Amino acid sequence: MIYLDNNATTATDKRVLGKMLPYFCEIYSNPSSVYKFAQSARKAVEDARASLAKLLNCEAEELIFTSGGTESNNTAIKGVAFAHQNRGKHIITSKIEHHAVLHVCEYMQELGFEVTYLDVDKYGLVDIEQLKKSLKKETILTSIMLANNEIGTLQPIKEIVKICHGNNTYVHTDAVQAVGRISVDVKDLGVDFLSLSAHKFYGPKGVGALFSRKGIKFQPLLLGGGHEKGRRSSTENVPGIVGLGEAAALALESMEEDEKRIRPLRDRLESGILKTIPEAFSNGHPSQRLYNTSNICIRYIEGEGILINLDFEGICASSGSACTSGSLDPSHVLLALGLPHDVAHGSLRFSLGKDTTALQVDKVIEVLPSIVQRLRSMSPFWQQK
């Protein structure tokens, strides 16, 4: 199998799994209990927190463990909105956020909040001038993703933070696709909240974290036993948290090497495809982009058919076509770039990982042209052209 869908999820690193295993049957204690047996679980949780803090360059106490990216995004947006609504009820986000941000913002609108959805340019960069114009006294939060999951475009978060802080507006960034892959330094970025997820960087599924800058109030999403200093109740997912901590430690070690290896492979894949397939182009920013992501539109055909044909060849990729999302509309991200519907339906996303090899990349370049040619031979648009 050739797995090129690492933005969807990654394989858990065996070293990560090895660290997690003792916390199921041996050190299964509840970290909140008082006896000694519980102290080893508590220590494991706090060691993981320290490890993640090192990766993000923040204080350990500024990190709250969650069930993943979606929960972290929900906590940040709802939490800030509810805690600061007396100051204003305006939120700014962008049109290309993940649904775990967009649908939360739509929900806030139902509750009476006003939300501005910033446009992006053809590369997927948010419109900074529009951001400046949209900020007002009532704007309590801006939520802009660090790296886009579909096209990989990296937003100028530092600049966005400067502008928003000048207006006393907090900044949250959904960094789910960035953490563990590229250097993410919360002190340097200046963000107030940041979401991350373990399974995007070789950790287990079902665990993530929210960075919450010291001293900024937010309303917790989960109320209960007061875990995580009252910021997220629920007995800690000890094995998962240990896995996240180990994934963070490994990422810190290997991130630079990973980039050096994966970027040329991604470039080889993208240029190989664009060279052999006519009427195709890549999406996302040419340079300000995640080094593992390649999003390609292949005109006159639809994405699902390509994916299924790739699957017949043992290749896993994804598409922004409507058919793969269960709705009639293609990817909201590609539409926000200004692509017409029929072109957006023909998108393909390859996201490489640390196990991707040159041989695998070459196999995709080899099999894709005949797949495309076959589907185009069936397409009335290709004929019409």
Partner 1 sequence: MTESYTDKVFEYFRNPRNMGELENPDGVGKVGNAKCGDVMWVYIKVKDSVITDCTFKTFGCVAAIATSSALTELVKGKTLDDALKVTNKDVANELGGLPPIKMHCSLLAEQGLKSAIEDYRKRLATNKD
Q: Classify residue 179 by its DSSP letter.
A: B
CB of 309 to partner 1, least distance (A): 8
- Distant-in-sequence, close-in-space partners of 111: CB < 8 Å, separation ≥ 6: none
N residues, the chain: 385
Instruction: Rule CB under 8 A: say whether 300 interacts with partner 1.
Output: yes
**3-state per-residue secondary structure call for 189-239:** HCCCEEEEEHHHHCCCCCCEEEEECCCCCCCCCCCCCCCHHHCCCCCCCHH
- Comparing C-alpha atoms, which of 120, 78, 79 is closest to residue 97? 120
Determine if 52 is a binding residue for partner 1 (CB under 8 A).
no
Which CB sits closer to partner 1, 196 or 322? Answer: 322
Candidate list 301, 315, 337, 348; residue touching partner 1; CB under 8 A? 301
Cβ proximity to partner 1, 127 vs 313, nearer residue: 313
Applying CB under 8 A, the span of 20-28, 140-148, 267-275, 323-331 interacting with partner 1 comes to 323-331
Total number of residues binding partner 1 (CB under 8 A)? 22
Q: Is 323 a catalytic residue?
A: yes
Taking CB under 8 A as the rule, does residue 316 contact partner 1? no
Q: Three-class SS of residue 298?
A: strand
Binder among 283, 321, 331, 360 for partner 1 (CB under 8 A): 321
331-370 footprint of partner 1 as x/- string (CB under 8 A): ----------xx--x-------------------------
Please report whether residue 381 would count as binding partner 1 according to CB under 8 A. yes
- Sign of the CA dihedral 110, 115, 118, 119? positive
Minimal distance, residue 371 CB to partner 1, in Å:
11
- Footprint on residues 2-31 left by partner 1 (CB under 8 A): none
Give, in order, the Cα–Cα distances in Å from 187 to each of 142, 174, 206: 17, 16, 26
Q: Are 212 and 232 in contact (CB under 8 A)?
A: no
> Judged by CB under 8 A, does residue 111 bind partner 1?
no
Phi and psi, residue 7, nearest 5°: -80, -20
Selecting among 25, 58, 316, 323, the annotated active-site residue is: 323
Q: Is 302 in the site for partner 1 (CB under 8 A)?
A: yes
Q: Tell me which stretch binds partner 1 (CB under 8 A): 27-35, 101-109, 254-262, 374-382.
A: 374-382
**385 binds partner 1, rule: CB under 8 A:** no
What is the rounded distance in angstroms from the CA atom of residue 248 to the CA atom of residue 258?
A: 14
CB contact at 8 A, 203 and 194: no
- Name the segment binding partner 1 (CB under 8 A); options: 68-76, 93-101, 279-287, 303-311: 303-311
Half-sphere exposure of 78 (CA within 13 A, CB side): 18
Q: Which of 192, 185, 157, 198 is nearest to 71 (CA)?
A: 198
Question: Which residues make up the interface to partner 1 (CB under 8 A)?
Answer: 300-302, 304-305, 308, 312, 321-323, 326, 328, 330, 341-342, 345, 377-381, 383
Residues with a known catalytic role: 323
